[in-house]
Amino acid sequence: MDVVNYGIIGCGMMGQEHLRNIALLQGARVAAIFEPDEIMAAAAKAIVPGATLESSIADLLARDDLDCLLVASPNHCHIDALEQIAELNPLPLLMEKPLYTDAADIARVEAIAASYPAPIWVAMEYRYMPPIQTFAEEVQRATGGVKMLTIREHRFPFLHKVGDWNRFNRNTGGTLVEKCCHFFDLMRLILGSDPVRVTASAGQEVNHLDEHYNGEVPDIWDSAYVIVDFANGARAMLELCMYAEGARYQEEISAVGPNGKIEAFVPGPGRFWPTHLGAPPVPQVIISPRHPKGPQAVDIPVDPTILEAGDHNGSTFYQHARFLDLVRNGGVPDVSIEDGAWAVRMGLAAQNSAMTRSVIDQI
């Protein structure tokens, strides 16, 4: 293919990040967009003036000039879009996380996975943040086999989205699905094992309590601790706080094993960095052996042009580069539909654990 033509379903905040990153790739263009919100559609058209705005998903899927698809619509719309694509035009697909939001939908996902004739790649951008990629590549050598994995995210509250859909659990799957499926995916990736037990404490403590939408107060959580036991004996913990603006690093990940410790430090989006704190920090990975060799610290800067295209430390660009190669040359997705389903299952188990104040061992 000289040029790979994308069809995009959903161009709100995340969809527009995808548009900006696709524009940086050689041999890729956005040919068609479906976005029902007029303001978001106009913003998408401004980013990609040559794209056609279609009036429905069916109209977009009826085109014969598309080579691949991207779904970046609100969470609760994902499974319906996936079924419509599978029925009408099952092209190679990059499906934004979470794959689904309700435990009752797993049967629908499995039915599609069993018969879909092209690759489905679940968009887990955090895998492609350069410091996290380095962390994942070095983790076994640095630790000698991970026994404890800790992920901490301290960040700003949920942003406003179209129709404020992300203020309510019924639309998002809950914070531990919507936000944290990224981290549960990283746990499985880094540990190379599946979870067997989840325990969580979480709630809505600070954010959105004074907001009202059609008479409803948001019920989306803003903080949590989640502990996950894995089949290989390793343990992982997630610490989430979404009222921690100005934290030096938004994500901090550490893994410890018999040989030592490795850490990754990832700053948040530059556009949210408080200017009074000076320049944003540079992403970094630190390896600390148990024996006294001293820590080895490596800065991992990202190309400023790529950073400006999104809020995920360049990861959306690197993810698209790999997806584009898959569309051109075939192969297996980095993040399979099974991986995407596991991440949601873990998030739903954590939501259930926190709500029922119990240990969940049926994931």
> Can you give the CATH number for the domain in which 41 is found?
3.40.50.720
- Considering the domain architecture, whether residues 53 and 139 belong to the same structural domain is answered as no
Q: Give the model's pLDDT for residue 246.
A: 84
Instruction: Tell me the CA distances in angstroms from 208 to 176, 240, 275, 315, one per residue in order.
Output: 17, 16, 25, 28
Tell whether the torsion through CA atoms of 151, 156, 161 and 164 is positive or negative: positive
Q: Give the model's pLDDT for residue 272.
A: 83
Spatial separation of the C-alpha atoms in residues 198 and 343, rounded to whole Å: 12
Q: Give the model's pLDDT for residue 317.
A: 98
Is residue 28 within 8 A of residue 324, CB to CB? The reply is yes
- Considering the domain architecture, whether residues 42 and 160 belong to the same structural domain is answered as no
Q: Give the model's pLDDT for residue 276.
A: 81
Q: Give the model's pLDDT for residue 294.
A: 80
Q: Could you say which residues of the chain have pLDDT below 50?
A: none
296-299 and 4-9 as β-strands: parallel, antiparallel, unpaired?
A: unpaired
Name the domain boundary from 125, 148, 180: 125
Instruction: Tell me the CA distances in angstroms from 338 to 32, 44, 49, one per residue in order.
Output: 28, 31, 36
Name the domain boundary from 125, 141, 176: 125
- Considering the domain architecture, whether residues 119 and 131 belong to the same structural domain is answered as no
What letters, b where the CB count within 10 A reaches 16 and e where it falls short, cover 194-206? ebebbbbebebee
Q: How many domains does the chain have?
A: 2
- Considering the domain architecture, whether residues 83 and 177 belong to the same structural domain is answered as no
Q: Give the model's pLDDT for residue 291.
A: 80
Spatial separation of the C-alpha atoms in residues 122 and 173, rounded to whole Å: 16
Instruction: Provide the domain limits for residue 38.
Output: 4-125
Residue at 361 is within a domain: no
Q: What is the pTM of this model?
A: 0.96
Residue at 363 is within a domain: no
Spatial separation of the C-alpha atoms in residues 330 and 353, rounded to whole Å: 40
